[in-house]
Structure 1
């Protein structure tokens, strides 16, 4: 299954939704949460029921959906879904890769994945399944656009760093230290000569001058 949809939203905002469990759950059409959306070890995890309409019939699945970043592609998300039919307990598994192509003020989402299923879903033709997944992708991107439309033209901080494929993450060992210059010594107050020769020499010169004055007073 391969399918493309363009949304009029900058890629950084779209990327952020795939790392926000609550906002992501709100964009998945036909999803009813059985548990609060949460962040797993590598990304959002959703637990609930999903209704899929295909070939004139509607099938409800119950299971989990986990989102992670693709390791071999830049700006790509891997969605792994696993569950069973709510009626009949027929299993279903799906793996979907969503690549985000930056197109300035818009984002092209490229969907590609595979699915294995038993039960009523397995009885559908490939064309019926493809049409169902295209409809699901269209509804998802429509909800995504509606979710992000209020902030599309606003200056907002980047919610999640965009990791490029093959890029090494920064660490304390690779970070450059910030060197703050130490303040210079306080200027020595006194005559120009003493300021030039510095405090230690000034003490010596002062002692010599006092001793010379004392000897002159005694000889006088």
Structure 2
């Protein structure tokens, strides 16, 4: 069999991806990797015509002296006794705008797939290789594409800074003196004044209202009290005694002169 796929990625990038087994495993479409096993080992579902066959196996890729790659794989049906073996050669050829991947080799199979039409099997293998090549291209361009996006974003940000006209900033405005700033904070009141202000704003507690007379600037002013009668008598009695004593003294003086 021979199959070609064009990928819009430079060959050097694809070779970097092919040198990493983990990236190769991610490129295999639908591969469910086995935990703790080699990267390209696990279960793979293949759809041939209207049938789906699940295989369990592994694949190995190794570089050759001529720059090509040898792909070897073997798998068995997860529910059956059929098996598949691959022996492919992968070559990369620089093409305008990307790389052409050429798959050449043989594949032998028995079991359920051998009972299906040859055209359906060939079409299924072609789709599998196409998707593998596309995924491999994504693995090859992923990191570099991210770096390019970062560089482009940085350049765009730099251009925006250059093209943006200068504008006055609120941080460049003069700060008015505290006495002229209508939003400046007032001087913190003394503790007694603060307490009175709090009581004025929030009012007294229910306990104060029930058990204490009103206090503070809003306390009611008591009405003036009239002078009680007994207050006058309290001062009149000593005065009368003084007048009486003075009259007695004056009377005695007059008698002696006679």
Range into which the TM-score falls when normalised by the shorter chain: 0.5 to 0.7
Question: Contact 2:88 / 2:106 at 8 angstroms: preserved in 1?
Answer: yes
Match of 1:137 among 120, 123, 129: 129
Does residue 1:23 correspond to 2:23, yes or no? yes
Match of 2:44 among 42, 47, 50: 50
Gaps of 5+ in 2: 149-258
Under a length normalisation based on structure 1, what TM-score does the superposition of the two structures give? 0.61
Question: Contact 1:10 / 1:102 at 8 angstroms: preserved in 2?
Answer: yes
Question: Contact 2:17 / 2:139 at 8 angstroms: preserved in 1?
Answer: no
Question: Contact 1:67 / 1:80 at 8 angstroms: preserved in 2?
Answer: yes
Alpha carbons of structure 1 residues 37 and 25: separation in structure 2 relative to 1, 3 Å: farther
- Partner Cα distance (1:121, 1:101) in 2: 32
- Partner Cα distance (1:104, 1:154) in 2: 23
Alignment deviations for residues 103-132 of structure 1 (CA, whole Å, 9 cap, x no partner): 265110001121111111111222111101
Paired residues, number: 147
- Partner Cα distance (2:36, 2:22) in 1: 8
Q: Secondary structure at the match of 2:40?
A: strand
Alpha carbons of structure 1 residues 152 and 13: separation in structure 2 relative to 1, 3 Å: farther
Q: Secondary structure at the match of 1:119?
A: coil
Under a length normalisation based on structure 2, what TM-score does the superposition of the two structures give? 0.52
After superposition, where does 1:66-85 map in structure 2 within 5 Å?
A: 66-71=60-65, 74-85=66-77
Deviation at 1:149, TM superposition (A): 3.1
After superposition, where does 1:1-220 map in structure 2 within 5 Å?
A: 1-36=1-36, 38=38, 46-71=40-65, 74-103=66-95, 105-150=97-142, 151=144
Alpha carbons of structure 1 residues 21 and 98: separation in structure 2 relative to 1, 3 Å: same
Select the structure of larger CA radius of gyration: 2
Q: Secondary structure at the match of 2:24?
A: helix
Cα RMSD (Å): 2.1
Alignment deviations for residues 175-215 of structure 1 (CA, whole Å, 9 cap, x no partner): xxxxxxxxxxxxxxxxxxxxxxxxxxxxxxxxxxxxxxxxx
Alpha carbons of structure 1 residues 36 and 18: separation in structure 2 relative to 1, 3 Å: farther
Q: Between Structure 1 and Structure 2, which shows a larger proportion of helix residues?
A: 2
Question: Contact 1:10 / 1:152 at 8 angstroms: preserved in 2?
Answer: no
Alignment deviations for residues 75-129 of structure 1 (CA, whole Å, 9 cap, x no partner): 2111111111000132221112111112265110001121111111111222111
Gaps of 5+ in 1: 39-44, 156-220
Q: Between Structure 1 and Structure 2, which shows a larger proportion of strand residues?
A: 1
